[in-house]
């Protein structure tokens, strides 16, 4: 669920993983991360996610670690994607978000 909620923060110009960041999400009918999570919990009869911020911080750190690995493989020349360099350069935003939320 982290990836779906974090995607809402991603800047729309952030290729190759663009999101609706910088747009008026409310006007477009795109729910916030918290509203999206609540919408997923409601049909299951779950009253929210305890420690939601901890989940977001953990997800951000995990995603940053994955991107750092992609960046390292790109630097070593054994990346599995032509977009590995671009993806590797995206390591800072999820790491920064995790630090700010912790």
Residue 20 per-residue DSSP state: S
Check: CB of residue 52 under 8 Å from CB of residue 39. Answer: no
Give the separation between CA 77 and CA 54, rounded to whole angstroms.
35
The predicted pLDDT at position 73 comes to: 93
The count of domains in the chain is: 1
pLDDT at 13 over 90: no
pLDDT at 5 over 80: no
pLDDT at 50 over 60: yes
17, 88, 70, 76: CA torsion to nearest 10: 140
Domain hosting 89: range is 2-101
Give the separation between CA 25 and CA 41, rounded to whole angstroms.
21
pLDDT at 19 over 90: no
Q: Which of 5-19, 21-35, 41-55, 64-78 has the lowest mean pLDDT?
A: 5-19
Distances (CA, A) of 16 to 24, 36, 40, 82: 21, 23, 27, 11
């Amino acid at each position: 669920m982290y990836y779906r909620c974090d995607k809402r923060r991603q800047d729309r110009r952030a290729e190759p993983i663009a999101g609706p960041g910088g747009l008026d999400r409310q006007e477009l009918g795109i729910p916030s991360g918290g509203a999206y999570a609540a919408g997923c919990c409601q049909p299951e009869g779950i009253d929210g996610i305890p420690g939601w911020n901890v989940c977001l911080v953990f997800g951000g750190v995990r995603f940053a670690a994955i991107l750092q690995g992609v960046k390292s493989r790109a630097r070593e020349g054994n990346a599995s994607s032509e977009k590995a360099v671009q993806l590797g350069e995206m390591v800072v935003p999820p790491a920064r978000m995790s630090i700010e939320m912790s």
